[in-house]
Amino acid sequence: MKLAPYDDILGDMATNYSTITLALVPSSTFVDSQYLGEFSRGAYYLLLLGTIAAALAFFIGFIKHTVGYLASTVFAIIGSVLLLIGAVIWTVIIKKAQAINGVVVSLPSGLVPLDITVEVGNALFLAWAAFACLIVSIMPYMISCCTYRG
């Protein structure tokens, strides 16, 4: 649940190589596992709660009653807000961690690229797509609630 890529890299190395790596990798957000870990955990829980609210809005929407549509509208709004905040936090985390991309380190043999690359991946795009779909779903729920359709 916590994003700590630098700690994971060091944990996979032998001790003598991890000491060298500590000296080579420049200080950046990528190295700050406390920062990445705390914010990624918060974003994880926001996305989880947003997903649960979206599921509740979906299933309650099958109840063909004004109160059911009202509850679906409320859950869709709450889920949208939670998904938005979680996706924004993850976007910021990834953009800050991408500062390690293209870093060149100085060795006795010359300048060498670090070759650590942080990429966005599909999960962030899915979080933004879930937010967009949930925002779009608010209007039909609200129209059904306000027009008293059964």
Q: Tokens 């939670």: give the residue.
A: 82
Is the confidence at residue 138, as pLDDT, over 90? yes
CA–CA separation, 76 and 32 (whole Å): 35
Within 10 angstroms of residue 148's Cβ, the number of other Cβ atoms is 9
**Could you tell me if residue 110 is left (phi over 0), alpha (psi between -120 and 50 degrees) or otherwise beta?**
left
Task: List pLDDT tens digits, range 98-126.
Answer: 877 776 777 777 777 777 777 888 999 99
Q: Tokens 């010359």: give the residue.
A: 110
Domain boundaries, the chain: 5-146
- What are the CA-CA distances from residue 37 to residues 11, 23, 34, 41, 65 (Å)? 16, 22, 5, 6, 43
Q: Which residue has the higher pLDDT, 65 or 56?
A: 56
Which stretch of 23-27, 58-62, 68-72, 127-131 has the lowest confidence by average pLDDT?
23-27
Would you place residue 94 in the very low, low, confident or very high pLDDT band (cuts 50, 70, 90)? Answer: confident
Task: List pLDDT tens digits, range 65-82.
Answer: 888 889 999 999 999 999
| pTM over cut 0.85 | no
